[in-house]
Chain A
Amino acid sequence: MSAKSAAARAQGRHVLGRFPLSLRVLGYATVAALGLLYIVPFVIQLVTAFKTDPDAAAHPLGLIPTTPTTAAYQRLFGLSQDGDGVPFLRWLGNSAFVAVLVTAGRVLFDSMAGYALARLRFPGRTLLFGFVLAVMAVPMVALLIPRFLVLNTFGLFDTYTGMILPLMVDAAGIFIMKQFFESIPREVEEAARVDGAGVFRTFWSIVLPMARPALLTLTILSFQGSWNEFTHFLVATQSSQYETLTTGLARLVSGGLGGGTQYPLKLAAALLATLPVAALFFCFQRYFVQGANAGAVKE
């Protein structure tokens, strides 16, 4: 953000002055309608999750449940004796376990690789950076069968290792970290080196602490990415014991877990699956914004 545009915003007025009143009313109405279009689906989800099945079917738009119930949540958390319990806690545990390990791996490995590509001189560096750029162009959907093949060959299919290891490095994260390390003044590191710190010491105690904003961005984006990951887990596992919130929910929704529409149950599960990322989003929105804009440059 340049100082100029910040000043312009502080000034806070459109160059052509205010809209005429009639236009302003119309404008606010349109904007409110657009805003509702983005919020209402989540509101309906929230409300429906507290309805009974017949109520949800009869009054899909009703904003107040006729007979409020927490049956959906009781089934998800295994509190009710209602037969075909959905192994929701298992999904939750798997998602959390995988997301934490993947995030830790990405933060460490991406920043190491980003630092080497930005700062260390070694043969093949330019070539490797070209490789990272090429990898960012490879779409995940074209990797469905290839990933399965390699996991199957190495005996990693249907294991936690197979779910986690392939996701532990991502090219976009390396790119973000490389860009950041290049923006740190080189003098700081050189001073540390002159004082006798080795390459790893310099990286670990001098550079990484300075990279806190970039690391936070990377942590948040990695957690969001691995929490929402679907396609990789779909081809890396088949047993229900490895199901995550995404693969489990997908099976529940596409009818793999018993009959009936059970929309309150499905919507409650989807809601709970969204909550952690939503909480992160509302606390750290600007890091998500940075991620979206980094996505624009990375291609």
Chain B
Amino acid sequence: MFPRTSQNPRPAPRSRAGGGPRTVGSPGAPDAPGGGGPAAAPHAFPAPRVGRRAEGAWGWLFVSPMVLILGLFLVLPILMALWVSLLNWDGQSNPFSGQAEFVGLDNYRGLLTQDGLDRTLFATSLRNNLYYVLLTVPLQTILALTLALIVNQRMLRGRSALRTAFFFPSVTSSIAVSTIFLFLFQGSGAVNTVLSWIGVKGPNWFNDSRGVLSLLLGGLGIVDTSHPTGALADHSFMGLSWFEWLSGPSVAMCTIILLAVWTTSGTFMLIFLAALQDIPRELEEAAAIEGVSRFQLLRYVTLPALRPVLFLVLTLGLISTWQVFDQVYVMSQGAPGNTTLTPAFLSYSSAFNDADFGQGAAIAFILLTLILTMTAVQRFLFRERTPRARRNR
């Protein structure tokens, strides 16, 4: 069969997801929109009996469950929430009957520009999540890469058992895993017991709202943490003083960061591992003949070959870390001192605990915009040379 002429200049994204062999007979062309006009090239085979019109009807019939469900439970809700974010609605009346007060952009103003408790809380949640992202993304990436390099060692005994162990936390329920971490990080729990063996008195993890950066600076005597003065205390941004912005993630937040790193590293390890196994062996052999050391091989051959995947893992991490919710819900509900509050949880609690659905919806939209922007940027950057495309060359 001949490849069809495609109206779509971009090849369809490829994947080995199904595990099936890609055959020569279907060179990415099926993405061609055959719907209108002369795109359908003459077949090398006798024409199918089913007419064009009938096939169109079948096509719509096949996608109708998807269109209905995604339309009703994804597109429509987003539009409804956009409307509610412009209301002052307490969740009682019908928000679409005009009973709830229309307040325009007030909910957004209250979160972003107007001085007040709402803005302070929102700024706090942004700060917390920012630190969460700044710590989780590099840590999980480095750990995942390390695990992948270990599991990829051809002479390591028991590497498939190790791979299973590293990956297992990723497939379990976030709620169940959070329960385990709550137990491990109790004041007199397992982690603090281990710390006491090496003479460290562990903190009371989930009740400790002190920021680790301010603890560090205070410990070095640079800043008086109980009475911050000077520029740090005098200046503020979005209702939080510079000191509060710079105090770092709280000790409680650090446990959630550790949990995230522990659970997600396995998934990213597999992505690295797939890329490692696709590095041509000749490349490594050529380097070995040149007499490079192990470190040089890693630094000048392996890591450069992994660069696209490294970038992919970093951006996937950036996108997913702005969505942290389950762990916060189970482990801390934003406490202590709002230091584990994240925008996602604030959106939920504004609506369902404080009955301020307008504000909750507004936060959800700000978060949605942030995440969609990052995804769009990522897809733009990956549009040509995706790691898969490189491999399929």
Contacts and interface: CB of A to CB of B under 8 A. Distances in A.
Interface of A: 1-2, 4-5, 8-9, 11-16, 18-19, 31, 34-35, 37-39, 41-42, 44-45, 48, 56-57, 60-61, 108-110, 112-113, 115-126, 128-129, 131-132, 135, 137-150, 153, 165-166, 168-169, 171, 174-177, 179-180, 182-187, 190, 193-194, 196, 198-200, 203, 211, 213-214, 217, 224, 227-228, 230-231, 234-235, 245-246, 249-250, 253-254, 261, 263, 266-267, 269-271, 273-274, 277-278, 281-282, 285, 288-299
23 contacts: A4-B280, A15-B297, A19-B294, A35-B162, A121-B34, A125-B34, A125-B59, A139-B319, A143-B364, A150-B73, A153-B80, A179-B15, A182-B26, A182-B30, A186-B25, A187-B25, A190-B43, A250-B326, A254-B330, A267-B179, A277-B173, A296-B271, A297-B388
A96 to B, nearest CB: 14
Interface string B89-105: 00000111000000000
Nearest to B276: A5
Contacts of B70: 131, 135, 169, 171
B173 A109 contact: no
A218 B371 CA distance: 26
Contacts of B281: 4-5, 8, 11, 15
A253 B59 contact: no
Q: Is the interface of B mostly helix, strand, loop or mixed?
A: helix
B66 A254 contact: no
A172 to B, nearest CB: 10
B174 A149 contact: no
Interface string B322-359: 11011001100100000000001001100110000100
B138 interface: no
A294 B376 CA distance: 19
Contacts of A180: 17-18, 20
- The residue in B162, B297, B367 that gathers the most chain A C-beta atoms within 10 A of its C-beta is B162
B9 interface: no
Contact of A186 (B1, B67, B80, B153): B1
B347 A145 contact: yes
Interface residues of B, number: 141
Contacts of A230: 173-175, 326, 329
Given A113-B63, A145-B348, A299-B316, 5 more contacts: A165-B73, A179-B14, A186-B26, A199-B54, A245-B173
Contact of B167 (A61, A110, A288): A288
Nearest to A281: B171
A290 B17 contact: yes
- The residue in A16, A122, A126 that gathers the most chain B C-beta atoms within 10 A of its C-beta is A122
**4 smallest A-B Cβ distances: which pairs?**
A122-B59, A180-B18, A146-B77, A121-B34
Given A1-B277, A38-B169, A245-B173, A285 B12 contact: no
B24 to A, nearest CB: 9
Nearest to A174: B66
A270 B179 contact: yes
B19 A217 contact: yes
Contacts of B76: 150
B5 interface: no
Contacts, number: 398
A288 B171 contact: yes
A122 B55 contact: yes
Contacts of B12: 182
Given A4-B281, A246-B175, A117 B193 contact: no
B150 A34 contact: yes
Contacts of A274: 172-173, 176
Nearest to B20: A183
A152 to B, nearest CB: 8
Interface string B120-145: 00000000000000000000000000
A295 B62 CA distance: 24
B295 to A, nearest CB: 11
Contacts of A143: 74, 77-78, 364
B304 interface: no
A199 to B, nearest CB: 4
B310 interface: no
A122 B173 contact: no
Contacts of B207: none
Nearest to B374: A137
Contacts of B171: 224, 277-278, 281, 288
B165 A120 contact: no
Nearest to B371: A139
B289 to A, nearest CB: 9
A34 B50 CA distance: 59
A150 B173 contact: no
B246 interface: no
Contact of B166 (A2, A38, A153, A294): A38
B270 A292 contact: yes
B299 to A, nearest CB: 14
Given A118-B30, A246-B173, A273-B173, A267 B17 contact: no
B390 to A, nearest CB: 12
Contact of A292 (B63, B267, B315, B375): B267
B190 interface: yes
Contacts of B330: 250, 253-254
B213 interface: no
Given A122-B55, A139-B368, A230-B175, A45 B183 contact: yes
Contacts of B285: 15
A144 B364 contact: yes
A280 to B, nearest CB: 8
B256 interface: no
A288 B54 CA distance: 38
Contact of B77 (A31, A123, A150, A199): A150
B23 A183 contact: yes
A144 B74 CA distance: 11
B72 interface: yes
B155 A14 contact: yes
A112 B309 CA distance: 31
A44 B183 contact: yes
A299 B378 contact: yes
B217 interface: no
Contact of B319 (A122, A128, A168, A299): A299
